[in-house]
Amino acid sequence: MRIVSIVGARPQFIKLAPLDRELREHHEHVIIHTGQHYDYEMSKAFFDQLDISEPDHNLEIGSGSHAWQTGQMLYKLGETLQNLKPHLVIVYGDTNSTLAGALAAVKLHIPSAHVEAGYRSHDISMPEEVNRVVTDRIVQLHFAPTRRAVQNLLNEGVETEQIFMVGNVMAESLLRHMDRIEKSKVLDEMNLEPGSYAMLTCHRPENTNDPARLRNIMTTLAETPFEVIFPAHPRTAAYLEESGLLGKLDGSSVRLLPPMKYIEFLKLQSQAACVITDSGGIQEEALVLGVPCITLRYNTERVETLDCGGNCLVGADPKLIREAIQALGSGAWTGSVPENWDTEVAARIVRAIDENRQLLRIEAQVF
């Protein structure tokens, strides 16, 4: 079969890596990069380090408002898919590239599949939640990471035979690189002792675009008793500068850095006292690595990470952030990894595609 993967943003490259490896072996695999992320360290660095095939097409969309970005992607993806005539399109995660990919496919009556289907924060003000809900409504195959994700899809009326509880492809990427992560010398290079620092990421619009929330988070973390390593998303770095917070971090506990490569970031994450983040995927990685996670959000679509005690929600509330940091080491953190978060996720996905070709068609709608 000719199978097209559509990716565009950093977390999607990580999810694509195990799928590319598996799909290349069994099918003709074509990669379309929308160009949503374009800086070297947000994009190419991941293709190089994770040994992902060069994208066959780069649409070079770049940044803009969500409407502009998604619209441009839809237009250019439509043209590209029309020429490629694939049997199946695969989209990943919850970004604007995910939504545009699924929409472009369904409008051309090309069957599509969603990797990481069924996660729900039930907060429709998040752009990612809109992307998840709409994508799952229009794809034919749903590859769910957890049982709760399966249940969310069933609750929304997706047919049982269209849902496959394959596990978490982000976890597979991590587990497959464990050897390289263990061998990384990044702690020595950065003069860090295991367990002596926290890792921070912060890029959600609800935190970065609200000056009060960004200030609450940064000023609270600037006073922690340990060092906070902060590889900042380019947009976050721009907001820190704009809001005058950059100067306040000078000489504080926060060490601001450019975005890091995958292996080095995971090595630092694995040896950290805790991870403080508003990312989705990092909550999962922390769980797999057995590192406590403090999430700078008031809700999460990764509910399993809360259930098993590996994660807590603190939003942008200084008191809650401080309390969560103080609770570290109290023994309350007993994370366990959900079922099927292993190195066979991509293989399960490809097997499900091969064994369910009858589902790869779009029924005509009768109005």
Task: Identify whether 203 is a catalytic site residue.
Answer: yes
Pairing of strands 28-33, 112-115: unpaired
> At 310, which amino acid appears?
G
**Does the protein bind ligand UD1 through residue 10 (CB under 6 A)?**
yes
Shortest Cβ 40–ligand UD1 spacing (Å): 8
The owner of tokens 């097209």 is 4
CB of 62 to ligand UD1, least distance (A): 8
**Candidate list 29, 114, 142, 203, residue with the active-site label:** 203
Alpha-carbon torsion, ordered 319, 323, 324, 325, to 10 deg = 100
Residue 361 interacting with ligand UD1 (CB under 6 A):
no
Q: Residue ranges of the alpha helices (H) in the chain?
A: 10-26, 44-49, 66-84, 96-107, 127-138, 147-155, 169-176, 178-183, 186-189, 205-208, 211-221, 234-242, 245-249, 262-270, 281-289, 304-307, 318-327, 345-355
Cβ 92 to ligand UD1 shortest distance, Å: 11
Q: CB of 230: closest distance to ligand UD1 in angstroms?
A: 15
Could you give phi then psi for residue 231, rounded to 5 degrees? -80, 105
Among 127, 186, 252, 308, binds ligand UD1 (CB under 6 A): 127
Rule CB under 6 A: choose which of 128, 284, 301, 304 binds ligand UD1: 128
Q: How far is the CB of 119 from ligand UD1 (least distance, A)?
A: 12
Residue with tokens 């043209």: 79
Instruction: With contacts defined by CB under 6 A, name the span among 93-101, 161-169, 285-293, 319-327 that binds ligand UD1.
Output: 93-101
Residue 254 backbone dihedrals phi, psi, to 5 degrees: -85, 125
Binding test (CB under 6 A) with ligand UD1, winner from 37, 76, 120, 302: 37
Q: Identify which of residues 231 and 338 has a Cβ nearer to ligand UD1 in the complex.
A: 231
The nearer residue to ligand UD1, 139 or 165, going by C-beta atoms, is 139
Does 9 bind ligand UD1 (CB under 6 A)? Our answer is yes
CB 4 within 8 A of CB 88: yes
Q: Phi/psi of residue 86, each to 5°?
A: -75, 160
Gap between the Cα atoms of 273 and 340, Å rounded: 26
Binding test (CB under 6 A) with ligand UD1, winner from 26, 27, 42, 307: 42
Site for ligand UD1 contains 94 (CB under 6 A): yes
Q: Write the binding mask 269 to 308 for ligand UD1: x where contact by CB under 6 A, - elsewhere.
A: ----------x-----------------------------
Cβ atoms of residues 41 and 261 within 8 Å: yes
Residues at the contact surface with ligand UD1, assessed by CB under 6 A: 9-11, 36-39, 42, 63, 69, 94-96, 127-128, 203, 233-235, 279
